[in-house]
């Protein structure tokens, strides 16, 4: 399996948001699947921290557990 087949930069080839994205981290033998869970208005998210107001101070894992688990 070629790592290039799962390169996140390939996302630019799509005209619409994808519901599932597949890619590999580094030279990992695993393929990671990420699912679209939310669409956020630009004005509702801090562009530097990638957090909304109710997520400030939480880790990525805490946000995921709070909202998507």
pLDDT in tens, the chain (69 residues): 456 666 666 677 788 888 998 888 888 889 999 899 999 999 999 999 999 999 999 999 999 999 988
Full-model pTM: 0.66
Is residue 55 classed as helix, strand or coil in its secondary structure? helix
CB 49 within 8 A of CB 24: no
The domain spans of the chain are: 3-67
Q: How far apart are CA 29 and CA 2, in angstroms?
A: 10
């Amino acid at each position: 399996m070629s790592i290039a087949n799962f390169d996140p930069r390939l996302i630019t080839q799509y005209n619409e948001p994808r519901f599932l994205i597949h890619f590999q981290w580094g030279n990992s033998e695993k393929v990671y699947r990420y699912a679209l869970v939310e669409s956020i208005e630009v004005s509702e998210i801090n562009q530097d921290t990638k957090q909304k107001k109710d997520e400030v101070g939480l880790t990525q894992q805490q946000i995921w557990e709070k909202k998507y688990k």
